[in-house]
Amino acid sequence: MSKTVTLAEIAKWVGGVVRGDASTRISGVAGVAEAGPDQLTWLAHDKYASQLRTSKAGAVLVPEQFGETPMPAVLCQNPAVAMVTILARFSPPVPRPAVGTHPTAVVASSAQIGSNVAIGPHVIIGENARVGDGCVLHASVFIGEGSVLGRDCELWPGVVVRERCTLGERVVVHPNAVIGADGFGYQFIDGRHVKIPQIGTVQIEDDVEIGANSCIDRAKCGATVIGRGTKIDNLVQVAHNVQIGPDCMIVAQTGIAGSARLGRLVVVGGQVGIRDHVTLHDGVQAAACSAISKDVPAGTTVMGMPAVEHEVFIRERAKIRRLPKMAEQLADLIKRVERLESSADHP
């Protein structure tokens, strides 16, 4: 794209309308506080309009019915959706290895490599592994024996896919994530912890994205499964035999214990802990830092430690906030009762 574009061009990208000078030229995108005169910012609601008063942004992207703004505006139906298109247009090129195999890569003779595959420096691809068409393997990626990557996957530097794991199409795995490490299983025998062999696999379905330094453990038997379209943030632990349904969102530092099950469209906030063998049914939402120790019905929002339904949590917290005052009242009542009893005993 050109170095700068006009607001009129940006409006065409998102099906919007310009209010103000349509010839204003924009070279990038930034937040309200950081944006400069040649940058576009955005707001999603009138209640944030006051933030624009001190903004130096050259233009702003706002909903169609948004009030007056101190700078030219692009009015569109949904700014959040429109920003996806705009950010993609302004995104700088991402460095990727060239199509072909880097001289330092080690590719087993029995491995099957599709067309237009880019294999970067120091990549290792094991025996009988298969890499689909259009895949990009950045530096130091490891693909274990017998593992399979579908079409158009992208594995960033340091990703490990151990033996016999399967990735679907268009799977993105960010740096240093590990897929297929042994599940955490031990049996206490004769005074010591004896490792239980983890002979299962991992199955990652199409359009999954896995964040940096996340770990998806292989199953003890069978497969650990990440459903189609699910997005996993950084530093997430998914234990052996976990089953995650399609289109879930798992936020950073969440830990999901062995054999837990998540249905479709489950949303799990940051630092949530999910106990082993627990089921979160379709559409469950878990607030950040929740500790989930039992099954959660479909469509329920839970929070707290231990996690309870949202409405119950709110009522409990309201009562807890009243405890200091109630403690003062109780102390006062105790004193009054003591005075009354003293008076009764000593007329």
Write the pLDDT tens digit of every residue in 125-174. 999 999 999 999 999 999 999 999 999 999 999 999 999 999 999 999 99
Identify the active-site residue in 193, 240, 310, 346: 240
Residue 317 has pLDDT above 80, yes or no: no
Half-sphere exposure of 42 (CA within 13 A, CB side): 21
Q: What is the mean pLDDT of residues 217-225?
A: 98
Per the model's pLDDT, the better-predicted residue between 346 and 85 turns out to be 85
Q: What is the mean pLDDT of residues 323-346?
A: 83
Three-state DSSP state, 171: coil
- With bands split at pLDDT 50, 70 and 90, how would you rate the model's confidence at 120? very high
Per the model's pLDDT, the better-predicted residue between 2 and 223 turns out to be 223
Q: Give DSSP secondary structure letters for 237-257.
A: EE-TT-EE-TT-EE-TT-EE-
Query: Environment class of residue 313 by beta-carbon count within 10 Å: exposed (0-12), middle (13-18) or buried (19+)?
Result: middle
Per the model's pLDDT, the better-predicted residue between 311 and 52 turns out to be 52
pLDDT at 267: 98
Question: How many whole angstroms from its chain centre is CA 66?
Answer: 30
pLDDT at 24: 96
Q: pLDDT tens-digit profile of 170-188?
A: 999 999 999 999 999 999 9
Residues 6 and 26: their CA atoms lie apart, in Å, by 6
- With bands split at pLDDT 50, 70 and 90, how would you rate the model's confidence at 341? confident
Q: What is the mean pLDDT of residues 331-346?
A: 82
Q: Which two tokens stand for residue 114?
A: 């599709």
- With bands split at pLDDT 50, 70 and 90, how would you rate the model's confidence at 2? low
Three-state DSSP state, 319: helix
Three-state DSSP state, 90: helix
pLDDT at 1: 45
Q: Which two tokens stand for residue 262?
A: 């998540």
Q: What percentage of the chain has pLDDT greater than the value 70?
A: 98
Residue 88 has pLDDT above 90, yes or no: yes
In contact, 76 and 64? CB cutoff 8 Å: yes
Rg (CA), the chain: 28
Residues 252 and 245: their CA atoms lie apart, in Å, by 18
CATH architecture of residue range(s) 100-310: 3 Solenoid (2.160)
CATH pick for 5-90 out of 3.40.50.970, 3.90.420.10, 3.40.50.11030, 3.40.1390.10: 3.40.1390.10
Establish whether 310 is a catalytic residue.
no
Q: What is the mean pLDDT of residues 90-115?
A: 96
Q: pLDDT tens-digit profile of 321-330?
A: 888 888 888 8
Q: What is the mean pLDDT of residues 318-340?
A: 86
Residues 318 and 328: their CA atoms lie apart, in Å, by 17
H/E element, 262 = strand 261-262
How much is the pTM? 0.88
Look up residue 94 and give its amino acid: V
